[in-house]
Homo-oligomer: A and B are copies of this chain.
Amino acid sequence: MTVSKTAEKSSDKPADVAKGRKDASEPQAEALQLGELSEQLGYVLKRAQLKVFENFLRCMASLQLTPAQFSVLLLVEKNPGRNQTEIASTLGILRPNFVAMLDNLESRDLCARIRSTNDRRSHILVLTDKGKAVLARAKKLVATKHEARLNDLLGQANREALIGMLAKIANEF
């Protein structure tokens, strides 16, 4: 069977598909059947990630921090004395793309590049005082408004199980 573009006498499977949904049998726009899609790992994973990022941005609106920027500040705080390549690579950010990110954070006086005295090629990354203060506030916002939402939704035990499974996927898939 070949598909006819104009569907002249299309008495196909379920009572003329080419007519579309406008039979009197259906009152309004009924929802589509997701079917196997709702069981697809990638699909549900992507949609959850979008919702989580969306919520993250709302919670951080006052601080104007994206998830990526937040992760940079967290990593720099935890690992002082590291250069751009090290920070970027552990976050999965390519060095060229990391430059603009740092330009942004540095222009807002949240972190600073310091030329290393050992290897004068590399820039050591450090949080400024303002950066530390902003990160502290960000952590509280994330904990109270963002991560807490997961507990309300799943419960403490399930939350930890979820994070654990996601981490396992991220590392071993």
Contact surface of A with B, Cβ cutoff 8 Å:
1-7, 10, 13-14, 16-22, 29, 31-53, 55-56, 67, 70-71, 74-75, 77-83, 86-87, 90, 92, 112, 114-119, 122, 124, 126, 128-129, 139, 142, 146-147, 149-150, 153-154, 158, 161-163, 165-170, 172-173
Residues of chain B within 8 A of A118, CB atoms compared: 19-20, 22
Establish whether residues A74 and B35, one from each chain, have CB atoms under 8 Å apart when the complex forms. yes
Residues of chain B within 8 A of A39, CB atoms compared: 163
Q: How many copies does the complex hold?
A: 2
Establish whether residues B20 and A119, one from each chain, have CB atoms under 8 Å apart when the complex forms. yes
Establish whether residues B117 and A51, one from each chain, have CB atoms under 8 Å apart when the complex forms. no
In this complex, what residue of B is CB-closest to A38? B167
Known contacts A40-B142, A79-B32; A116 and B166 CB within 8 A of each other: no
Establish whether residues A37 and B82, one from each chain, have CB atoms under 8 Å apart when the complex forms. no
Residues of chain B within 8 A of A149, CB atoms compared: 173
List 13 other contacts, CB 8 Å, given A18-B124, A154-B165.
Answer: A5-B112, A17-B81, A17-B114, A22-B118, A32-B79, A34-B78, A35-B74, A40-B142, A43-B67, A46-B49, A47-B166, A51-B169, A52-B173
Establish whether residues A20 and B161, one from each chain, have CB atoms under 8 Å apart when the complex forms. no
Q: How far is the CA of A27 from the CA of B132 in the complex (A)?
A: 30
Known contacts A78-B35, A90-B32, A128-B3; A20 and B83 CB within 8 A of each other: yes
Known contacts A19-B118, A117-B18, A161-B161; A166 and B83 CB within 8 A of each other: no
